[in-house]
């Protein structure tokens, strides 16, 4: 647990801003989980696809989630909603020590700085912070898309999913080459 705190943990009361995006995926510390999320927007067909991958400290895929939205929302709002669903997924799986990674610097910054306002995004940020308060340890980091091709590919494939698709302890074939 000390390894987690020293290497990655920023609790709800002691966040530091990490604006430099990582370029390669790194496994989380022992007894913790890392969830990466991404969004793919199809403006032509008014759809947004969301993909999230949870891995453990050994780098093993614990679960994936794909979701398709049949409407096109403001990109910032879509990214915020996706962060909410990714964090909710961790809560539902009972994870207590999590590292959350997304490629939306604006969303990551708002979560890190606990910036809640009266916008739609602000409401989701407030919900995210409420959920995070229930974790023992958590951090939120900005990562570049190149950090992990798997979650980017998963979000693209989510555009073709009806509703929501969750795979636990299985790796979807679309991301097998990247895991």
Whether the Cβ atoms of residue 49 and residue 27 lie closer than 8 Å to each other = no
Taking the C-alpha atoms of residue 125 and residue 110, their distance in angstroms, rounded to an integer, is: 7
- Residue 145 has a pLDDT of 66
Architecture of domain 28-178 in this structure = 2-Layer Sandwich (3.30)
Mean pLDDT is lowest, of 75-84, 118-127, 168-177, for 168-177
Taking the C-alpha atoms of residue 105 and residue 107, their distance in angstroms, rounded to an integer, is: 6
Cα-to-chain-centroid distance, residue 36: 4
The residues, ordered by sequence, that sit 6+ positions from 10 with a Cβ below 8 Å of its Cβ are: 16, 112, 138, 139, 140
Is this structure's pTM higher than 0.85?
no
Question: Above 50 in pLDDT, residue 32?
Answer: yes
Cα-to-chain-centroid distance, residue 46: 22
Is the sign of the CA dihedral 117, 121, 125, 126 positive or negative? positive
Q: Work out the angle at residue 92's Cα, subtended by the Cα atoms of residues 86 and 95, and round it to the nearest 5 degrees.
A: 85
Is the sign of the CA dihedral 108, 146, 99, 156 positive or negative? positive
DSSP 21: P
The H or E element spanning position 84 is: helix 75-92
The predicted-structure confidence for 103-117, as pLDDT tens digits, reads as follows 889 999 999 999 899
Tokens of 88: 């909710």
- The SS3 assignment for 35 reads strand
The predicted-structure confidence for 8-17, as pLDDT tens digits, reads as follows 333 333 333 3
Tokens of 47: 């759809």
| Cα distances (Å, whole numbers) of residue 162 to 15, 25, 49, 127 | 37, 29, 10, 25
The predicted-structure confidence for 47-105, as pLDDT tens digits, reads as follows 888 888 899 999 898 988 888 887 767 888 888 998 999 999 999 999 999 999 998 89
């Amino acid at each position: 647990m000390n390894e987690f705190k020293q290497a990655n943990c920023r609790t709800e009361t002691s966040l530091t801003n990490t604006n430099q995006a990582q370029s390669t995926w790194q496994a989380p510390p022992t007894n913790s989980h890392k969830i990466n999320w991404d969004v793919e927007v199809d403006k032509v067909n008014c759809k947004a696809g969301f993909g999230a991958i949870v891995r453990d400290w050994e780098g093993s895929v614990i679960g994936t989630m794909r979701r398709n939205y049949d409407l096109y929302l403001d990109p910032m709002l879509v990214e915020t909603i996706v962060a909410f669903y990714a964090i909710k997924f961790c809560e539902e799986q009972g994870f207590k020590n999590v590292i959350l990674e997304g490629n939306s610097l604006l969303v990551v910054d708002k979560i890190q700085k606990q910036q809640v306002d009266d916008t739609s995004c602000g409401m989701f940020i407030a919900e995210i912070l409420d959920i995070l308060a229930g974790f023992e340890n958590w951090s939120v980091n900005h990562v570049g898309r190149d950090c992990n091709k798997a979650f980017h590919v998963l979000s693209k494939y989510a555009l073709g999913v009806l509703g929501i698709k969750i795979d636990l302890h299985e790796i979807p074939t679309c991301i097998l080459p990247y895991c």
